[in-house]
Structure 1
Amino acid sequence: MRALLVCTNHTDYPTKPEKTGLWLSELTHFYDEIADRNILIDIASPAGGPIPIDERSLKRNDNTNDKWYHSAILRPKLDNSLRLDSIDPQAYKLIYLTGGHGTMWDFPENTRLQEIVRQIYEQGGMIAAVCHGVAGLLNVCLSDGTTLLHDRQITGFSNMEEKLVGLKEEVPFLLEDALKAKSALYSKSFLPFLPHIEVDERIVTGQNPLSARKVGRKVVEEMFDK
């Protein structure tokens, strides 16, 4: 079995000098849950090459980040990610869209990403995404012309969370609002930044960084334990 984990290449905010990119724990916590299964794991990005890491996510004390960021298995994949244009969707049973604010710029309009998600879904595979990575599902259309998210139970980074992290004026759109505009049945945790996931058939989404491990566990449960 093969899984495709997709990360952003985007680093710049419109006005803030800080750099964005992948929020590291959204990759490592999910990876930690699936790594001991018999799964071949590839990491890809829109442009390929090195994955930028959001500086703030590297500053947190996180044993799982330490374990995998310095791993001889994962680190080379982060430094040399596959280009989405080179991916054959037929090879994969699972796709996971990691987050980090960078995804808000290079995921939503990426037609190759949309096509890969569609093909994996329509061949019976699992679709998973967390936090801002859910933005990569906004414009996915299925072969019958319907949108992937229509009437689906979905979560993703909330308007309130965006406001609380001080980036509401930096992002190109608010993910919660965009999901609702696509007729997704959006839900969120009672309090900001608590773990929250939604499962709708073969689509698993997580609200924020603390949800990534729960997304991984649910994917493993759905794929292996049922």
Structure 2
Amino acid sequence: MSKIIILLLVLIGLDPATIYAQKKILFVTSNQSFYGNTKISASNHFEEIVVPYDIFLKSGYTVDFISPKGGAIPIGYINSSDSIQKKYLYDGSFMDKLEHTMKPTEIIADNYLAIFYSGGGAAMYGVAEDITIQQIAREIYDKNGVVSSICHGTAGLAFLKDASGNSLYKGRKLTGYPDKFENRDMEYYKTFPFSMDDAIKNNDGNFVFSEQGLDAFYVVDGRFVTGQDPTSSSKVANEIIAILSVNFKGAGKTPVKSD
């Protein structure tokens, strides 16, 4: 049946990939459970996942999750007294998605309008250097899609290149959790494979951040949308929706305003 539908779309001049992609966003997470080789627990930031996820769903989008290895991912920074976090913490269908994230090799980039790198300390490991995830991000961007991230998730953008081997975001402003707010004397930081600030700069990006912190700081530069910390999660999500609503007419519904 699906083959017949695809054939009909082609015959009437519509691109099947565009049709299927209209309401899909890809979340990138990490499998890392510890900081480097230590016994210090690392995890994906639950709030930075569920707040954008909730906004995307209410705006008519569906979300898929990947991690470098696929399967279960560690989650942390959970505040069960927060209504949105509590809602999804006890949502069996949603939690099943986090227990069964897809592998990058299972993803068809044409099916997605945006890629979103969630944060948490785990995001510093295994994501940025994954060649397949880099390829997915590049293909989404090349088809007029959005590349986005929050907090430590911006580390995932560190090595993104275009088809010619140049920085995918040369000269553009990006933000994330800066070194200034890390405790660089602590063991966890010493295990980081790279400095996010320096990696973005070394890839010809312009890393910027708010000196105040926890003030919902985010940056939109072209089709790159990045947030500094959890407080900017909702703003990043709504900015992504705003761009998609212009670049892909009819994708999703009117964005839900969220402070």
Q: TM-score, normalised by structure 1?
A: 0.91
Is 1:144 aligned to residue 164 of structure 2? yes
The amino acid across from 1:6 in the alignment is V
- Correspondence for 1:45: 67
What is the number of residues matched between the two proteins? 224
Distance, in Å, in 2 between the alignment partners of 1:177 and 1:153 is 13
- Correspondence for 2:50: 28
Relative to 1, partners in 2 of residues 1:116 and 1:196: Cα closer, same or farther, differing over 3 Å?
Answer: same
Distance, in Å, in 2 between the alignment partners of 1:105 and 1:84 is 15
CA contact 1:150–1:183 (8 Å) conserved in 2: yes
Distance, in Å, in 2 between the alignment partners of 1:205 and 1:157 is 10
- Correspondence for 1:9: 31
Distance, in Å, in 2 between the alignment partners of 1:207 and 1:60 is 23
Is 1:125 aligned to residue 129 of structure 2? no
CA contact 1:33–1:220 (8 Å) conserved in 2: no
Is 1:172 aligned to residue 200 of structure 2? no
User: What RMSD, in angstroms, separates the aligned Cα atoms of the two structures?
Assistant: 2.0
Residue from 98, 101, 104 that aligns with 1:84: 104
In the TM superposition, what whole-angstrom CA distance separates every residue of 1:81-113 from its partner, at most 9, and x where no partner exists?
A: 111111110111111111111121111110011
Match runs of 1:79-118 below 5 Å: 79-118=99-138
Distance, in Å, in 2 between the alignment partners of 1:13 and 1:122 is 33
Deviation at 1:190, TM superposition (A): 2.6
- Correspondence for 1:153: 173
Distance, in Å, in 2 between the alignment partners of 1:60 and 1:160 is 29
Distance, in Å, in 2 between the alignment partners of 1:208 and 1:117 is 21
CA contact 2:56–2:62 (8 Å) conserved in 1: no
Relative to 1, partners in 2 of residues 1:42 and 1:27: Cα closer, same or farther, differing over 3 Å?
Answer: same
In the TM superposition, what whole-angstrom CA distance separates every residue of 1:132-180 from its partner, at most 9, and x where no partner exists?
A: 1111111111113321121011001111221289543232222112222
- Correspondence for 1:219: 240
Secondary structure class of the residue paired with 1:135: helix
CA contact 2:157–2:200 (8 Å) conserved in 1: no
Distance, in Å, in 1 between the alignment partners of 2:34 and 2:179 is 20
CA contact 2:31–2:73 (8 Å) conserved in 1: yes
Relative to 1, partners in 2 of residues 1:187 and 1:193: Cα closer, same or farther, differing over 3 Å?
Answer: same
Q: Out of 42-51 and 64-73, give the one that drifted further.
A: 64-73
Q: Out of 94-103 and 190-199, give the one that drifted further.
A: 190-199
* Structure 1 gap ranges (5+): none
Distance, in Å, in 2 between the alignment partners of 1:43 and 1:123 is 20
Relative to 1, partners in 2 of residues 1:29 and 1:108: Cα closer, same or farther, differing over 3 Å?
Answer: same
Secondary structure class of the residue paired with 2:225: strand
CA contact 2:167–2:204 (8 Å) conserved in 1: no
Distance, in Å, in 2 between the alignment partners of 1:165 and 1:217 is 36
Q: TM-score, normalised by structure 2?
A: 0.80
* Structure 2 gap ranges (5+): 1-22, 248-259
CA contact 1:159–1:177 (8 Å) conserved in 2: no
